[in-house]
Structure 1
């Protein structure tokens, strides 16, 4: 996402960080190891512009003294490769062109005004798959559910899951069916909180640890 917006990040031993502000909803730093050094991490991001954020992947940082407060807490979740896939009456596809990405983004955004977040450059990333779902029957070609899948060597991460009509309960079956087809040997990971976490657990995920997102100022 950052590359699609022209923002360059850098991996370090303890964290990934971007020196300039990242796109809306995306953190300026992500810890990659427990007990990351606070001062070194904060020095790598822009805390002068409003809204800087840190994804504390192990929920073990103390950033209050650096001017941050907790935005939310959540749970990492894992679904094993080969787990049974629920049935769905939706048909899935992978977005492959800017016009379809625009339709997906408008459905995801649901009128909030942030559809421009998903730029065509995202489609050039070979490890990113934007999954959409439409009604399987009839002439209705509306995008009604979807997610973004990011593949690594060992797992596939899921974010931006949405279901226009029935929320994540409708979205997870078709998205999991797509992921099983695209990545049959990879477990699925993500993070959720509240009611959405409870839905994910109903669809075969297990909680594997806490995370915390901090934001600066405000």
Structure 2
């Protein structure tokens, strides 16, 4: 059942807000790496290759001039990715292949009732948080993110659960959620919802998931909004 505060008529609005929020998060990550993207009515894009795991463009509407958008992305070197936020593009003829499909999700904020998650504040804490998120990654999350008012890196004591909350488009985006080995993912999602209520009270939560993680998010009260597709250019 759709959350009582997320009526059917709100889904298109929330889907666009989720896409814009995600583009804002991608821009924040680029800023942390000394890069700047560009927002236009149809999409956010970066003329320079973005940090690993982050797309080179995020569409903000179904109606995109594909040739114009691809001209704003660096396709001279392999590995460009594009987030088709509405699964509306056909990039096969341009030399792109689907990387994965996912589903946008949203959940109304719950009343704040406390949280054990805390905000990452120092560079040392950031390094520990990054290792807990992915032990094979180094310096993807830069210290300047700690000073960005639109970004909250959060984790429980002991770093057994954590996530990023990003503000933008009037909603709060949930991304990079992690759990330590043996931790119930349902617990992590529940703690994330509680943390969002504590740190960003009253704001609708958005994000995207696929596979088993989507099912866990739905059990935590998230509602599917619509499909997205990430494309890769080899």
TM-score by length of 1: 0.90
- Secondary structure in 2 matching 1:105: helix
> In the TM superposition, what is the alpha-carbon distance from 1:81 to its structure 2 partner?
2.3
Aligned residue-pair number: 205
Equivalent in 149, 152, 155 of residue 165 of structure 2 = 149
Equivalent residues of 1:83, 1:204 under 8 A apart: no
1:64-122 deviation line (CA, Å, top 9, x unaligned): 1111100000000000123798x9xx82101111111111000001x3x2132111011
The aligned residue for residue 128 of structure 2 is 103
Partner of 2:144: 121
After superposition, the Cα gap between the structure-2 partners of 1:37 and 1:160, relative to the gap in structure 1 and judged at 3 Å, is same
Q: SS where residue 117 of structure 1 aligns? A: coil
Larger proportion of helix: 2
Unmatched 5+ stretches in structure 2: 1-28
Superposed CA deviations along residues 6-31 of structure 1, whole A, max 9, x for unmatched, are: 11100011000000000000000000
Structure-1 residue corresponding to 2:222: 205
Give 1 or 2: higher strand fraction.
Answer: 1
Please say if residues 108 and 115 of structure 1, whose CA atoms lie closer than 8 Å, have aligned partners that are also in contact: no
Q: Report what 1:38 is aligned to.
A: 66
TM-score for the superposition, normalised by structure 2: 0.84
What is the alpha-carbon distance in structure 2 between the residues aligned to residue 159 and residue 16 of structure 1? 18
Distance 1:7 1:168 in 2: 34
